[in-house]
Structure 1
C-alpha cells in the first residue's frame, strides 16, 4: 500500500485567489509604470485657473 499524505495540498480556492491577487498587482504595476489613468490628486477636478466651477454650470 502506498503512503498517503495527511495533507493533500493547498485548496483550489487558495490557488485561484493567489492567481487573481497576482494579476491585480501586475495590472496595478503596469498602470503605474505607464502612467495610464491621467493625473491624480486634489487638483484633478479643478478648472485650468484653479477654481471649482459653480455647481449649476456643470454639464
Structure 2
C-alpha cells in the first residue's frame, strides 16, 4: 500500500510550540545578545559605573 504524503499542517501529531514560548525565547535571546555586546564592547555598563572616578 502506498501512503499519501503527509502534510505537516494537517498531521495528527502533537501540536507545535505555542507562540508565547517562541516569543519568550526570542526575547531572552535578544537580552543575552545585548548583554554580550555591551559587555564585550566595554561601554561602561556594569557595577563600576556607579562608583566615583
TM range (shorter): 0.5 to 0.7
Gap regions ≥5 residues in structure 2: 1-5
The 3-state SS of whatever aligns with 1:29 is helix
Greater C-alpha Rg: 1
Report the number of matched residues: 45
Distance 2:25 2:18 in 1: 11
Q: 1:33 to 1:6 in 2, by over 3 A?
A: same
Give the TM-score normalised by the residue count of structure 1.
0.58
RMSD between aligned residues: 2.7
Give the TM-score normalised by the residue count of structure 2.
0.63
Distance 1:24 1:39 in 2: 15
User: Which structure has more helix as a fraction of its residues?
Assistant: 2
Which structure has more RCO (C-alpha within 8 Å, separation ≥ 6)? 2
Gap regions ≥5 residues in structure 1: 49-59
